[in-house]
A and B are shown apart, each in its own frame.
Chain A
Amino acid sequence: MRRRNQRLMMIGVAGAVLVLAATLTFAGLRDSVVFFVAPSDLAEKAEAGQRVRLGGLVVEGTLRREADGASLFDITDGVTSVTVRYAGLLPDLFREGQGVVAEGRWQPGQAFEAERVLAKHDETYMPREVAEALKQRGEWKGDPPS
């Protein structure tokens, strides 16, 4: 009898932890998932202030710096381009004309405020999300060299 109670207790605690973990997981997936948008979808798909990932090619000749060290550059998917402002140090592999993903928030009429800029370790890399977006726009020029 006692052993059975103990077993029931352990199963009860395990069940409670599982329920808690599941709740946290679903709440987390609901709240902290970040959607990927292309520059031309930004206005229509992303709400103002919502955290999104903006991906595309950095437009040649648009990288400039503000007095406080922040970088400004334009990201395009071939249709629309969006100005991105990033206060951090750009990744080593960031280059004009190449694909990047900027994660951050956007307000209508302002530059996209990036909190993170991703470029891959490999210089031949094109972010998959960017490739998808470019394919959809018919801007795709073959698979990236691997």
Chain B
Amino acid sequence: MIAEIGAFAAALALALSLAQGVFGLAASRRDSRAEATAAIAQAAAALCVLAFICLIIVFVRSDFSVAPVAANSHIDKPLIYKIAGAWGNHEGSMLLWCLVSAVFGGVLASTRGSQSLGLWSRAVGVQGLVTAGALIYTLFLSNPFARLDPAPMQGSGLNPLLQDPALAAHPPLLYLGYVGLSVPFSLALAALLEGKADQAWAKALRPWTLLAWTCLTLGIGLGSYWAYYELGWGGWWFWDPVENASFMPWLVACALVHSAIVTERRGSLASWTILLAILGFGLALLGTFLVRSGVLTSVHSFAVDPQRGIAVLVLLAIAMGAGFGLYAWRAPKLAQPSGFAAISRESMLVWNNFGLAVAAGVVLIGTLYPLLVEALGGGLISVGPPFFNMTVAPLLAALFIVLPFGPMLTWRVGDMRQALLRLAPAAALAVLTLIIALVTTHWRAAPAIGLAIGVWLIAGGLIYLWTRIRRGEGAAFAKIAVLPLAVWSMSIAHIGAGVLTLGAVAETAFRSEQAVALSPGEGVTFAGRRITMIEIGEVEGPNYSATRANFRVDSASGAGIVAAERRFYPTSPMPTTEVGILSSLDGDIYIALGEAVRDGAGAWSVRLYHNPLVHLIFIGVSMMGVGGLLSFIALTRRRRTAA
């Protein structure tokens, strides 16, 4: 019964979001129609919430007559993973997509702000059509409420690798990011339809862009963190197509966050901002297509269903056809931007956008190249990490060298000499880092440059904060207290990028790994430490049994005990690895337990990794996320006080 209510609510939501599309697009001239549009959008959002609650209920009650529950859940699963199971599968995740799109549509309809009536109602209308497209796909091609007859007695269980707190939060965050980009898309199309993209429009755009970017940042970060501690491969980023699928929209969203600032503050770059908003959503849809269709071989897995892939491709074609078509037709009519000098805040943000867009393009080429070669009959190929490291890293390096100048320069015409003088200490620190790194690594140029850039970003961000604090009046605390939230958010995000760079470079360039066979009592010297297996035995978990080994790690700074497990879930034929991680200031000792060595007299294969400074990666990403969140708060607060 609950499942039927859910399906019915989703079907009603589809009808309402189609109405929202029609009314929204037609409402520009009459206030009464606009009011109706807003009410419809809110009702559609409420219905999607209801449908999703129904889905969670059938998962919690383990109603195995519902197909996705039977395929992905299990009676013995802890409650939190039964709930997370609702979106841990293809069908449920598509309903989540609809939910986010509809709720964002409802919020968009409730927050008109200073936008003109036509612009706002058209944006709500386009958003309604986006929701409708997602609901059509969900209801007709991947219905999460499909019934099974006869119903199985037991579900086949969620893939144990996915039974993890980080991965319970990872899909909702990513979807908030992906689908969050649909709102800038709707606003962009509305601006093209209206033939007007003014500062009020950019003001409405910015919080949505920031929200999407922040969620993408945190979602990708969580996914990466999960891959690091759960997969047992010792790495955190694999340039896998599925990772690229989320990285491309992130890059474009990052560019959009910055270009929208220029459009809001100076009125320029409007046309480019619109293009980015269209592209960002296009890449989010492309990401969904790449993940869902299985056209690319990936270490991740999802349903391989050509029909679903084609449906996503059709939705992508419609959205991008409408987006780029409107852009080609209407963008030339938009007001011409006001000018700026080659050395100014604007020009630095243009360089930021240029770098990020080119990087997104390169990742796109690398990700799609195998498809192209195969389509042209060139055989099956894969493009791996060497390609991306070789192309994306230099681009980002160039971008990061320019980055600290941006905040230092004023709008319209900046003073480069003054900026250089202020940043001189940061430059000196960076050069010092470069020299020390070159000497200690025996002239390995790439990591040394990378570390120097990380230091440059951090020091540059701190100097900016310092110059802003000094500008205030009164005592030191008073100066810090009056510093605008926007300054904090930007500095934290930029310093976070530097921290992330340090961690990523150090981990990639200096990690070491070793495979050994150890029996209890035996030890090995690895990365300047003595690692000893103390004991190994069987333990029982709530819905798994495991082999657990305790290791002792002795280093110059002290000793630590760490446990690594190999878990067996009765619902899955595959064992999973629970790595043991011993973190210290200089990085992680990462231990993955393998299998018993055959004829090895009680020895087990063990894989040891030393990942220097790896925690900086996750700290850096968190800082970027916190920066985005603070900026979002600053923007919404400003909007409320203005209203």
Binding site for B on A (CB under 8 A): 3, 6-7, 9-10, 14, 17-18, 20-21, 24-25, 27-29, 31-36, 53, 64-65, 67-70, 87-93, 95, 101, 103, 118, 120-123, 125, 127-129, 132, 144, 146
CB contact under 8 A between A89 and B592, given known A33-B369, A69-B605, A123-B573: yes
Contact at B232–A89, with CB atoms within 8 Å?
yes
Which 3 interchain pairs have the tightest Cβ spacing? A36-B380, A122-B301, A6-B342
Contact at A35–B387, with CB atoms within 8 Å?
no
Within the complex, the shortest CB–CB distance from A76 to chain B, in Å, comes to 18
Contact at A146–B354, with CB atoms within 8 Å?
no
Within the complex, the shortest CB–CB distance from B256 to chain A, in Å, comes to 19
Contacts of A27 in B (CB 8 A): 390
For the complex, what is the distance from the CA of A51 to the CA of B44, rounded to whole Å? Answer: 53
Contacts of B550 in A (CB 8 A): none
Task: Please give me the residue from chain B that is nearest to A126 by CB atom.
Answer: B304
Contact at B515–A69, with CB atoms within 8 Å?
yes
Within the complex, the shortest CB–CB distance from B642 to chain A, in Å, comes to 34
CB contact under 8 A between A32 and B605, given known A21-B358, A101-B297, A132-B380: no
Contacts of A65 in B (CB 8 A): 597-598, 600, 605
Contact at A10–B390, with CB atoms within 8 Å?
no
CB contact under 8 A between A93 and B387, given known A36-B382, A68-B515, A121-B299: no
Contact at B594–A123, with CB atoms within 8 Å?
no
Within the complex, the shortest CB–CB distance from A134 to chain B, in Å, comes to 13
Contact at B159–A121, with CB atoms within 8 Å?
yes
| In-complex Cβ contact of A127 among B297, B350, B366, B379 (8 A) | B297
In the complex, besides A21-B362, A69-B594, 8 extra interface pairs with C-beta distance below 8 angstroms are A14-B354, A20-B394, A21-B358, A28-B386, A122-B159, A125-B304, A128-B294, A132-B380
Contact at B391–A93, with CB atoms within 8 Å?
no
Contacts of A20 in B (CB 8 A): 394
For the complex, what is the distance from the CA of A127 to the CA of B354, rounded to whole Å? Answer: 37
Of residues 590 through 613 on chain B, the ones whose CB sits less than 8 Å from some CB of chain A are 592, 594, 597-598, 600, 605-607
| In-complex Cβ contact of A89 among B298, B354, B362, B607 (8 A) | B607
| In-complex Cβ contact of B394 among A10, A24, A32, A125 (8 A) | A24
Contact at B381–A35, with CB atoms within 8 Å?
yes
Contacts of A21 in B (CB 8 A): 358, 361-362, 391, 395
CB contact under 8 A between A34 and B297, given known A9-B342, A18-B358: no
For the complex, what is the distance from the CA of A90 to the CA of B339, rounded to whole Å? Answer: 58
Within the complex, the shortest CB–CB distance from B455 to chain A, in Å, comes to 23
Contacts of B303 in A (CB 8 A): 146
Within the complex, the shortest CB–CB distance from A74 to chain B, in Å, comes to 16
Contacts of B594 in A (CB 8 A): 69, 89-90
CB contact under 8 A between A121 and B300, given known A18-B358, A69-B605: yes
For the complex, what is the distance from the CA of A36 to the CA of B374, rounded to whole Å? Answer: 11
Contacts of B302 in A (CB 8 A): 122
Contact at B398–A92, with CB atoms within 8 Å?
no
Contacts of A128 in B (CB 8 A): 294, 297, 304
Contacts of A18 in B (CB 8 A): 358
Contact at A88–B299, with CB atoms within 8 Å?
no
Contacts of A144 in B (CB 8 A): 304
Contacts of A88 in B (CB 8 A): 513, 515, 607
Interface string of B479-494 (1 = CB under 8 A from A): 0000000000000000
Contact at A3–B369, with CB atoms within 8 Å?
no
Contact at B573–A34, with CB atoms within 8 Å?
no
Chain A-chain B contacts (Cβ-Cβ < 8 Å), number: 141
B436 interface residue per 8 A CB criterion: no
Contact at A67–B301, with CB atoms within 8 Å?
no
Contact at B301–A125, with CB atoms within 8 Å?
yes
For the complex, what is the distance from the CA of A141 to the CA of B69, rounded to whole Å? Answer: 28
CB contact under 8 A between A29 and B358, given known A127-B297, A146-B304: no
CB contact under 8 A between A32 and B384, given known A21-B391, A146-B304: yes
CB contact under 8 A between A32 and B380, given known A10-B342, A17-B398, A68-B517: no
B322 interface residue per 8 A CB criterion: no
Within the complex, the shortest CB–CB distance from A116 to chain B, in Å, comes to 9
For the complex, what is the distance from the CA of A111 to the CA of B342, rounded to whole Å? Answer: 59
Task: Please give me the residue from chain A that is nearest to B347 by CB atom.
Answer: A10
| In-complex Cβ contact of A3 among B339, B354, B517 (8 A) | B339
Contacts of A17 in B (CB 8 A): 354-355, 358, 395, 398
| In-complex Cβ contact of A29 among B369, B398, B572, B574 (8 A) | B369
Most B CB atoms within 10 A — which of A92, A121, A122? A92
Task: Please give me the residue from chain B that is nearest to A90 by CB atom.
Answer: B594
Contact at A129–B342, with CB atoms within 8 Å?
no
Contacts of B607 in A (CB 8 A): 88-89
Of residues 300 through 330 on chain B, the ones whose CB sits less than 8 Å from some CB of chain A are 300-305
CB contact under 8 A between A69 and B597, given known A17-B398, A21-B362, A21-B391: yes
Contacts of A24 in B (CB 8 A): 362, 390-391, 394
| Listed A/B pairs (30) with beta-carbon separation below 8 Å | A6-B341, A7-B342, A24-B391, A27-B390, A32-B390, A33-B381, A33-B387, A34-B381, A34-B382, A34-B383, A35-B380, A36-B379, A36-B380, A36-B381, A53-B380, A67-B517, A69-B516, A69-B597, A89-B232, A89-B605, A90-B594, A103-B382, A121-B161, A125-B301, A125-B304, A128-B294, A128-B297, A129-B297, A132-B380, A146-B304
Contact at A95–B517, with CB atoms within 8 Å?
no
Within the complex, the shortest CB–CB distance from B305 to chain A, in Å, comes to 6
B576 interface residue per 8 A CB criterion: yes
Task: Please give me the residue from chain A that is nearest to B341 by CB atom.
Answer: A6
Contacts of A7 in B (CB 8 A): 342
Contact at A25–B573, with CB atoms within 8 Å?
no
Within the complex, the shortest CB–CB distance from B594 to chain A, in Å, comes to 5
Within the complex, the shortest CB–CB distance from A111 to chain B, in Å, comes to 16
